[in-house]
Amino acid sequence: MGGEYMYLIIVGNGQMGRIIKGCAEEDKAFDKIEIVEPLDNKWPEEKADVIIDFSHHSAIKDIYEYCRVKGGNIPVVIGTTGQDETDEEVIKQLEKICPVERKSNFSRGIFMMNKLAEKAKDLIKEEQKYSWDISIEEIHHTKKKDSPSGTAKTLCSILGEPWENVAAIRMGNVFGEHKIYLAAEDEVIEISHRAYSKKIFALGAIEVAKKMMSLK
């Protein structure tokens, strides 16, 4: 960075892609910002300095192809969730040619919640007298494509719970709610996070993109 020309490509012209564009336009770090819609598949000639992907899991093949043709070494921030095994393989290939940062949730609150889940796991392990049942619940808007959410899957892997046990609710236009229940006899602890806007994810992804650009 530091006065250099910076070209950001955002993959996905959905809700997140447009919010990221708005936030990036308010940020002095970027000189040129463009959205590439994966369904249109029109990739620019110019090589990007950084890519932020919040689209659909199947778009990763085209992202890889663009990066490969441009000679690699483009930092890629992946916020898209719902990847299948084939997509995971493509991401592994991408990591060989580009720095990749991937998070199922870019909000600060979920970063904290993951830490609290790690702590809870340790405390449960130390507990001698009681056994605690762990349950995870997530609520999202009805248009969300994957289920359970990537964030709930991350919480599952921290807590050692199977994804199949997540209670995934789809209703209204809820941006995202995640809850961990710890239940012992006659008492329940709840750790919960509620997103009040999608901007928190956009700003988190932009922060990571800027960090990666400075390391280029």
Using CB under 6 A, pick the residue from 39, 112, 123, 189 that binds ligand NAD: 39
CB of 189 to ligand NAD, least distance (A): 25
Q: Which of 210, 213, 194 is nearest to 202 (CA)?
A: 210
**Distance separating alpha carbons of residues 163 and 198, to the nearest angstrom:** 24
Using CB under 6 A, pick the residue from 33, 48, 79, 213 that binds ligand NAD: 79
Q: For residue 23, how many other CB atoms are within 10 A of its CB? A: 16
* Binding-residue total with ligand NAD (CB under 6 A): 25
Using CB under 6 A, pick the residue from 1, 7, 13, 93 that binds ligand NAD: 13
CB of 59 to ligand NAD, least distance (A): 5
Q: Which two tokens stand for residue 13?
A: 């012209």
> Which residues, other chains included, contact 91 with Cβ-Cβ below 8 Å and sequence gap of 6+?
60, 78, 83, 100, 102
Footprint of ligand NAD on this chain (CB under 6 A)?
A: 12-17, 37-39, 54-56, 58-59, 79-82, 103-106, 143, 146, 201
- Which residues belong to the active site? 140, 144
